Structure 1
């Protein structure tokens, strides 16, 4: 801690992650975040200290402020800011950011979130084709690669569409699976994401089903993206029913 406080450009230091939430176990790393004065001081470091893995993230106040204007940054940062514990905050800079995080309402970025969710889903049209091609050719590597892309793009789209915040990456898959209260989505996404013991062909087919449900459940401010996504979903459905 003293070492961090002595670094040039440090404005505040706060504890995040499982230790801040009171959920740490013997394998949990220690997550420290530092607010710095300039971009040139922004960097991430990971090291062992007395046998403990310590992750340090250094960001400017402006960079931290993206959590209040950019939906995906909000997904990943708001809960961390809300539950963080100040370790060094002489000027109250972190306290001001935390107060803003705790007062933040998802409605402030909701329209942007739906647009971004649509972009993510539509952007996976190529992965849908890769899954179909891989299943047709019996190519597990191709299906697996595409399934990985679908897992995170569709998962993030579900979280954005519902304003489901991520307190820790360890819960990402479960939160994405449960974001939409749709049994078909939850079943397909769980299989796609590897939350079951399904083999790769079934994960590929589940990815196609999950894509179709995401297209149906997402809101679409952009008609062109919706048309693209619906065409990809139609091709996936045709393959599944063949």
Structure 2
């Protein structure tokens, strides 16, 4: 900690992650966030210190302020700003960010979030086709690879559509699964990502239905994305037996 405070360009240091939230276990790393004066000081490093894995992330204030304007950044960063524990903040830079984070409401980015969610679902129509192709030809590797893209695109769409913040990446899959209060979505997304189903073909079939439900649950703006996604969903339904 003293060495971080002494680094050039340091404005503030605060604790984040499981230790800040009081959820750490014996394998948890120590997450330290450092606010720096300019991009020239931005870098991340991970080291062992005193037998503890320590992750240090350095970022500028404008970078952190994106949590108030960019919905996906909000999902990932707002909780850390709200729950962060100040360790060094002589000018009150972090205190100001934390005050703004705690006053922030999802309504400020909600329209952007819905538009981004729709774009994400439409953008992975190609991955959906890869799943169908892989299932048809028995190429498990192709199906598994396509599922990776669907996992995060559809997961982010669900989180953006509902304003579900991510306090830790460890909960990403379960938060995404539970974001939409829709039993078919929850069952098929959980199956797709491996929370319930095990073999790749079963996960692939679950992915097709998860995509269809994401299309149904997403709020679509006018434009070509909606037509693309709905046609992809129609093809997924036609592909599945029954």
TM-score class, shorter: over 0.9
CA deviations over 1:5-51 (Å, ceiling 9, x no partner): 01000000000000000000000000000000001111111111111
**Partner residue in 2 for 1:101:** 101
Distance 2:21 2:77 in 1: 14
Residue 53 of structure 2 aligns to a residue whose secondary structure is strand
Distance 2:221 2:93 in 1: 37
CA deviations over 1:90-136 (Å, ceiling 9, x no partner): 00000000010001000000000011101100000000000000000
After the TM superposition, list the runs of 4 or more consecutive aligned residues in structure 1 that deviate by more than 3 angstroms.
none
Given the alignment of the two structures, is residue 164 of structure 1 paired with residue 161 of structure 2, yes or no?
no
Matching of residues 8-27 of structure 1 within 5 Å: 8-27=8-27
Residue 184 of structure 2 aligns to a residue whose secondary structure is helix
CA deviations over 1:175-210 (Å, ceiling 9, x no partner): 000000000000000000110143100100000000
**Partner residue in 1 for 2:228:** 228
Given the alignment of the two structures, is residue 130 of structure 1 paired with residue 130 of structure 2, yes or no?
yes
**Partner residue in 1 for 2:80:** 80
Q: CA deviation at 1:217?
A: 0.1
Distance 1:222 1:157 in 2: 17
Q: Is the 8 A contact 2:197 2:203 kept in 1?
A: no
Q: Is the 8 A contact 1:43 1:58 kept in 2?
A: yes
Gaps of 5+ in 1: none
TM-score using structure 2 length: 0.99
Q: Is the 8 A contact 1:140 1:201 kept in 2?
A: yes
Matching of residues 22-171 of structure 1 within 5 Å: 22-171=22-171
**Partner residue in 1 for 2:191:** 191
Q: Is the 8 A contact 1:115 1:222 kept in 2?
A: no
Gaps of 5+ in 2: none
Mean Cα displacement is larger for which, 34-43 or 190-199?
190-199
Distance 1:222 1:146 in 2: 27
Distance 2:51 2:126 in 1: 44
Q: Is the 8 A contact 1:118 1:222 kept in 2?
A: no
Distance 2:222 2:201 in 1: 32
Residue 8 of structure 1 aligns to a residue whose secondary structure is coil
Q: How many residues align?
A: 242
Residue 241 of structure 1 aligns to a residue whose secondary structure is coil
Distance 2:58 2:222 in 1: 36
